[in-house]
Chain A
Amino acid sequence: MSERIAEPVPGVDVPPRPRQPAGTRFQRVLRTISPRIVTGGGGGARRVAGPGEVVFAAGFFGLSLLLLLLLPFQTDWLPSTKLVVQPRFWPAVAIGAMLVFSGGHLLRALAAHPAGGAWAEIKGWLRPLEFALWFLAYVLLVPWSGYLLATVAFTSSLSWRLGYRSARWVLVATFFALCVVLVFRSLLGVNIPSGALYELLPPGGFRSFLMTRF
């Protein structure tokens, strides 16, 4: 949650004194140099930025700036060709829009009163990367072990990792994996290659059946 604010901010933590503008000094300076249409007006209590809002806005603005710098190197400009037909035209329009809007978003976030908790929020962004790795491990396992085995292994081990450790949940996870394979591979015949492990089975009907259905 939000961190404790060291200094009470006029207009946010305490009511502003007469003629005293709201916000920190930095925010007041920012509001004088940025268009009010973006950051809001001068008086009254300021909007409170969400945790990590400034980090996200700055990151997006940085990405837009980086793309703008790369534009001449990553797109072509053809001689004696009209502007609207240039390969560079649409990326330039898109990056221009990103830059303008993300700049406005960043100014708005900077002008708002920070809620704190940015680090906790960033940790919250990083935590799911573990599950992205689980997903990619599953992706790598399928061409090797086959869809059925990989799916059973994935659902039951990930469920175990998440705390579903009773025999009941292992059965539920295995049953779910079986249903997914039966519906998508056996019934709908979606395009998933058979596993290399199946090649080790003796040639015959059973191997063909496994390779085409599971």
Chain B
Amino acid sequence: MDMLLSGIGMLMHLDVLLALLIGSVGGVIIGAIPGVGPAVAIAILLPATFALPPLVGLVMLLGIYGSSMFGGALPAILINTPGTAVNALTTYDGHPMTRRGEALKALGLAYGASFGSGILSILALIVLSPVLAKVAPMFGSKEIFLAALLGLVLVVIAHRGQALAAGMLAGFGVFLGTVGLEPLKYTQRFTFDQPWLASGFDLIVVVLGLFALSQAFVLLSGPDESPDAKPIRGSMGRAMLGTLRHKRIVAAGTGFGVLMGMIPGVGEFTAQFLSYTYAQKTSADPDAFGKGSPEGLVASESANNAVPAAAMIPLLALGIPGEALTAMMLSVFYVHNVIPGPQLFQGQIDFVYALYVAMILLNVIVVLFMMVSSNLLLKIIRIPTRFLGVMILTMSFVGVYSLRNSITDCVIAAVFGWIGLVLKRQDLPPVPIILGLVLGGIMEVKFRPAMARVEVLADFFQRPVAAVLGMAILALIVGQLAALRRQAMERNKA
């Protein structure tokens, strides 16, 4: 309890609260603009936060991360265009409700479900933190290596129908992480005797290229569109109270969101899928799903908004990011010499609590903002898409150039922007590259000490956590191969 109060005390500073307000409101606006999304915004703002104290910078980025999905529901419901990728499922039931003249009800349910699951997920984490503080020290080099490997395996498996592509892109990410001076013997790897390659590929430059510049290129070279939507009339607060009729679905969605968010590499989409399927199977009117079912809308929004808080668990407890946004946040920790992992939970649990309380506050700020600003946001989402591309390109410059004032970094970011564009056109995910880059580095650093006293393979799995992680990896690979074989046999029969 003392630590929780100490964490709250850390937040009660003007700069921290201001950062939280800017991050939360900014995140909603960014989330509401189709084609921007939190990854682009966080990538652009990352270097700017390096100059801020660690808590201020992290709170601002957390604000964007946690609030963007609130904003993303607005265009998903009103104009059938998800503001962020994870709001895609919201369009299934949200937009049909708008077409029926129930836009206010749909928005109220989406905001209410997001708020409810956001708060519940953070409370669950606060309760879980003492357990995490006990479990985290059980992770030594072997366990962290295996957890990172598990993250990579899950990233590959989670991309259903694209596992091969996800695998090759994750491998590419791991390869990118090996370029430059290697960390033990300081020999050069794949530098081609070029001095600018000696320090390797900077994570932020790659992230900015793959997420921000690629999105700018997509918008600039695509057709010009300007979404339009009718203004909302009525009491948003009253509409949000309608969520109380779907408490069971909010609770289930939160549960799925927390569970899936904790597992590296899985994230919002799986949580939404499980939550939506559960809601449909237990609904009195399952046929209405996909045609404007309030239950479907609540299931989708509650699951996706429970994930950000849970995704902080592997990051904070083990130093292992589960997806691109937490990978970006990891670099903020490193810049400020705050090393997430078991030591953070043991030595700075108040800092962890401060982050959790910040997430509760951001949910409150966002929901208050949404109650009064939905019609204002409708004006912002009307920015024509090509002009939006100009805006993203202009702000991407700040992100890349302010790192080291390096023109080379800008060229590298432009190249990765082009790679990101090709991936988007091929409908392939850029996230495995980022996770490969981050997790590959962790794996290489941890693998060497982990192998120090290993003579036979069984030595690696002697400790219980390592054994459990090893079994989980093996079970996932065997299960995936069996599922693929089963599908191939079914196709043969057909």
Contacts and interface: CB of A to CB of B under 8 A. Distances in A.
B348 interface: no
A184 B398 contact: yes
Contacts of B224: 162-163
Nearest to A129: B418
Contacts, number: 214
B48 A184 contact: yes
A151 B394 contact: yes
Interface in A93-125: 93-98, 100-102, 104-105, 108, 121, 124-125
A191 B444 CA distance: 32
Interface stretch (A2-10, A136-144, A202-210): A136-144
A206 to B, nearest CB: 24
Nearest to B404: A191
A185 to B, nearest CB: 8
A87 interface: yes
A76 interface: yes
B386 A163 contact: yes
B215 to A, nearest CB: 11
B191 A91 contact: no
A94 B427 contact: no
Given A60-B168, A98-B175, A84 B448 contact: yes
Contacts of B232: none
A87 B171 contact: no
B202 interface: no
B398 A128 contact: no
Interface size class of A (residues with CB under 8 A): 35 or more
B458 interface: no
Nearest to B407: A139
B48 A94 contact: no
B481 interface: yes
Interface string A15-40: 00000000000000000000011101
A162 B192 contact: no
Interface string B146-178: 000000000000000000110110111011011
Nearest to B184: A85
B485 interface: yes
A173 interface: yes
B421 interface: yes
A131 B391 CA distance: 13
B478 interface: no
A189 B402 CA distance: 10
B489 A41 contact: yes
The size bracket of the interface on B is 35 or more
A192 B407 CA distance: 12
B220 A155 contact: no
A72 to B, nearest CB: 12
A155 B394 contact: yes
Nearest to A132: B414
A180 B398 contact: yes
B217 A128 contact: yes
Contacts of A140: 407
B472 interface: no
A169 B226 CA distance: 14
Contact of B217 (A76, A82, A132, A164): A132
Contacts of A62: none
Given A75-B189, A184-B48, A192 B426 contact: no
Contact of B51 (A90, A93, A155, A190): A190
Given A74-B191, A155-B390, A135 B414 contact: yes
19 contacts: A37-B484, A37-B485, A40-B487, A43-B492, A74-B188, A74-B191, A87-B187, A91-B178, A93-B174, A94-B178, A129-B418, A131-B221, A135-B397, A136-B410, A158-B393, A169-B387, A180-B394, A190-B47, A191-B403
- Return the 5 tightest CB-CB contacts between A and B, nearest first: A97-B171, A101-B167, A41-B491, A128-B217, A101-B168
Interface of A: 36-38, 40-44, 50, 52-53, 56, 60, 64, 67, 70, 74-76, 78, 81-82, 84-85, 87-88, 90-91, 93-98, 100-102, 104-105, 108, 121, 124-125, 127-129, 131-132, 134-136, 138-140, 142-143, 151, 154-155, 158-159, 162-164, 169, 172-173, 176-177, 180, 184, 188-193
Interface of B: 47-48, 51, 164-165, 167-168, 170-172, 174-175, 177-178, 182, 184-185, 187-192, 213, 216-218, 220-221, 224, 384, 386-387, 389-391, 393-398, 401-403, 405, 407, 410-411, 414, 417-418, 421-422, 425-427, 436, 440, 443-444, 447-448, 451, 481, 484-485, 487-494
